[in-house]
Amino acid sequence: MSSLKGKVALVTGANSGIGFAISEHFASLGARVVIHGRDEADAGKAAQRLRDGGHDAASTGGDLTDPEVCRGIVRFTVEWGGRIDVLVNNAGNTARGYIEDASVEFWDTMMAVNLRAPFLCLQEAVKSMKTHGGGSIVNIGSINAYIGAPNLGPYSVSKGALMTMTRNAGAALGKYGIRVNQLNVGWTLTEGEERVQRESGHDEGWVEKAIGMAPFGRLLTPNEVARAAEYFASDQSAIVNGSVLDVEQYPIGAPAEF
């Protein structure tokens, strides 16, 4: 039995895909959920979908490359909910790029969204969690953190660094009852992945090709990731801290460049 009833949760990058699936699943378990999206109007629509289902939800927006936005969305959550019990750092930049020719601007944007934003949101959330007896921070990483495909160089580095931050923060914050864990997510079929694949030049048959590469004959679904996030967010994992769970059908790493 989950213990999310009455918990206040913030999920970043939650307009659609994995982020929305986590938000919807947490809400179904009784959590009060704040949906963040880069576009505030889209975040509002996503939160309304939860309210239409009878759930308690709010929304906030902003570009996470801005440090004040990172801090601000956590403050909004605390003001709205009176506290923050769960932070899910889901928002991510998945742009393709090679180590040998990535520009400084590309690198800095990747690190700002995938590493600095979770760090700043964590910092701000900890202020409230320490005064309320603890909390759970769930970082959404990637199986690419271990190596990654050649065209995911900077992205893979950002997720590897996030994994180290997760473990370090878990060790540092456990004394306050704050747990920090990470899901390294594998290839998941989302609206965002569809967009990225089409922008990368793949035709509409890319899904069939991807499925052909998958050991279990399908890709992950956002709902499967949401259920894994529930484990780390709830008291089901009350004694688990600084851990990384690979939510993937490949034992380690990722398939060859696609």
Q: What is the pLDDT of residues 238-248, one digit of tens each?
A: 999 999 999 99
- Residue 254 placed within a domain: no
CATH number for 138: 3.40.50.720
Q: Quick one: CA torsion of 223, 39, 48, 234, rounded to 10 degrees?
A: 40
- Residue 79 placed within a domain: yes
- Residue 249 placed within a domain: no
pLDDT of residue 201: 65
3-class DSSP assignment, residue 220: strand
pLDDT of residue 198: 61
Q: What is the pLDDT of residues 33-67, one digit of tens each?
A: 999 999 999 999 999 999 999 999 999 999 999 99
* Reported pTM: 0.92
- Residue 256 placed within a domain: no
Distances (CA, A) of 130 to 99, 127, 173, 235: 39, 6, 9, 17
- Residue 137 placed within a domain: yes
List, run by run, the mean pLDDT of 10-residue segments along the chain (258 residues).
Answer: 87 96 98 98 98 98 98 98 98 95 98 98 98 97 92 96 98 98 85 66 69 78 95 96 92 56
pLDDT of residue 19: 97
Q: Which of 98, 146, 155, 250 is catalytic?
A: 155
Is 250 an annotated catalytic residue?
no
- Residue 252 placed within a domain: no
pLDDT of residue 4: 96
pLDDT of residue 211: 75
The domain tally of the chain equals 1
The angle formed by the CA atoms of residues 188, 193 and 195, to the nearest 5 degrees, is 165
- Residue 2 placed within a domain: no
Query: Domain range for residue 184?
Result: 8-244
